[in-house]
Amino acid sequence: MLKGKQPIFLVLAILAGLVLTACGDNTATPVPATTTAAAATTSAATTAAATGTTSATTSAAGSSTISGTFTNNPADYGLKTGKPYNGTNLNFLICCNTATQFASLIDKTTKEFTAMTGITVKWDNVPYAGFQQKLLTESVSGTGQYDNVAWVDSWGPGIKSFLLPLDDKLKAAGISMDDFSPAYVQASKSNDGKSVVGIPFRGHAQTLFYRKDVFDKLGIKPPTTWQEVDAVSKVIKEKMPTISPISMYYGVNAGQNVFLFLNHLWGNGGDVFDQGMHPIFNNAAGVEATTQYMSYLKDGYTTPNSVGFAEGDAATQFGQGKSAMMVTWSWYYSTFTNKTSASPDVYNNLGFLPAPSWEGKSPITYAQIWPVGISKFSKHQDAAWEYLKWLTNPRVEKEVALDKSDPKFDNVVVVHNSVLSDPEVNATTHGLQNVMASVLKTARTEPLIPEWPQVESTLQVAINNMAGGKPIQATLDQAAKDVDAIMKKGGYYK
């Protein structure tokens, strides 16, 4: 395989190809959350998820070892004492700062981090649909406008060249990356894999959410495979025609419709590329997986409006009680249990399981990680390191997860293995984090290559076209030709 072109040329090419994506539907909820959902989900986690009881916490043996209580001592968070960076103002490049998963962190940044260090931090608020383009633009311009930078794992190859290597800082601070999933660590390294350029920050596992009242009333079990999704959807459609069996989203919006496509493709043993980086998603396994993905629409198990839905639209439908199931990111638990936004039919009856697998095959789903790093153009790198240490500290992560003082602060996202298995954290969510941990054991990230944004853009348009009625085999064949051209231009083969 030939080495790809230098990042600067790839970034410019990607920027040119992002116009369609950036102009997508901005109504989508931010998503963001690794490498391969669980072949052997623990019985405690599965049972608790299905029954909605707190018994899932029993799968995390022992008592909690991480404090989730705030102290005003900087040393407890690995920070320097004496406020050496007092008065420094940092800018944090990130999207969607109004999302519930960020609200508590933003509040604590001011009340706790700034109070301890004298460093103020301004979180940017780029819409998710324009976040990738903003990252790429900043990496090319090198203005130094931002100090800390977050990114979605698969976008990393296009921006990592402008991030500061952190290995020496991690060693000096005694911070180990061993408390993270290997997939999270991989996505946080430089393109050559030789150095760490980010620390895992937000991570998300694909999860099946369902209404227990619907399944109890019909006497059916929640599905664990896509084929079972078909079977229960048929029953729900026949017996409860006033709701959709499942909320889906096939619209073009920053590659969101690719998430479920990958769940089906990988679950069926298919893949996007072969070992030579030639596209193979149009082979027999890919066609079968895509046919299954499109069947929910064809068979009337999801609303016809899902052809244009972004993920947030589908989540709104489920949250309002208009469907019985949805497969989406684990962080939506907070949205679906929020009594100010969700329907009582949902928040009083919410169940969850790992995302469905393919019948007879090992479960593999897509999971996502957002690392955070420091711009090498930042004029405040030392202060930015202080904030990065605090932001990704497991003690802060647990404190945020336990913060139920206000519904707007409700957050279930944790990424440290030690916090995923923490009994106190799991007790607040009926064991959701245990389920997330099981999913992450076999989850995969999207391909970490500079060309992925262009590939993803090609796939999302193809998916939307097939949802609109275009033939599956012919559409996948054309998409494969387009992707082949992208990879050839990237220098992977002649």
The total of other beta-carbon atoms located within 10 Å of residue 493's CB is 12
Residues 6+ apart with CB under 8 A from 157: 7, 10, 191, 448, 449, 450, 452
Indicate the burial class of 111 (C-beta count within 10 angstroms; 0-12, 13-18, 19 or more). exposed
Tokens of 106: 């933003």
pLDDT digits (tens, 9 = 90+) for 205-224: 999 999 999 999 999 999 99
Q: How many residues does the chain have?
A: 494
Indicate the average pLDDT of the chain.
88
Render pLDDT for 160-180 as a digit per residue (tens, 0 to 9): 999 999 999 999 999 999 999
pLDDT: which is higher, 103 or 352: 352
Q: Residues 275-322: pLDDT tens digits?
A: 999 999 999 999 999 999 999 999 999 999 999 999 999 999 999 999
Q: Give the CB-side neighbour count of residue 33, counting CA atoms within 13 A.
A: 24
DSSP secondary structure code for residue 447 in this structure: P
Strands, E, within 279-407: which ranges? 323-329, 350-354, 367-374
Tell me the pLDDT tens digit for each residue of 472-486: 999 999 999 999 999
> What pTM, to 2 d.p., does this model score?
0.82
What residues contact 47, with CB distance under 8 A and at least 6 apart? 55, 56
Are β-strands 120-123 and 89-93 bridged in parallel, bridged antiparallel, or unpaired? parallel
Structural domains for the chain: 7-19+205-365+445-489 (3.40.190.10), 71-204+370-416 (3.40.190.10)
Which residue matches tokens 């802060």?
A: 396
Q: Count Cα atoms within 13 angstroms, Cβ side, for 352.
A: 33
CA separation for the pair 72, 69 (Å, rounded): 10
What whole-number distance in Å separates Cα of residue 124 and Cα of residue 146? 9
For the stretch 230-249, what's the b/e string if a residue is b when 16 or more beta carbons lie within 10 angstroms of its beta carbon? bebbebbbeeeeebbbbbbb
- Tell me the pLDDT tens digit for each residue of 234-248: 999 999 999 999 999
205 contacts 329 by C-beta, under 8 angstroms: yes
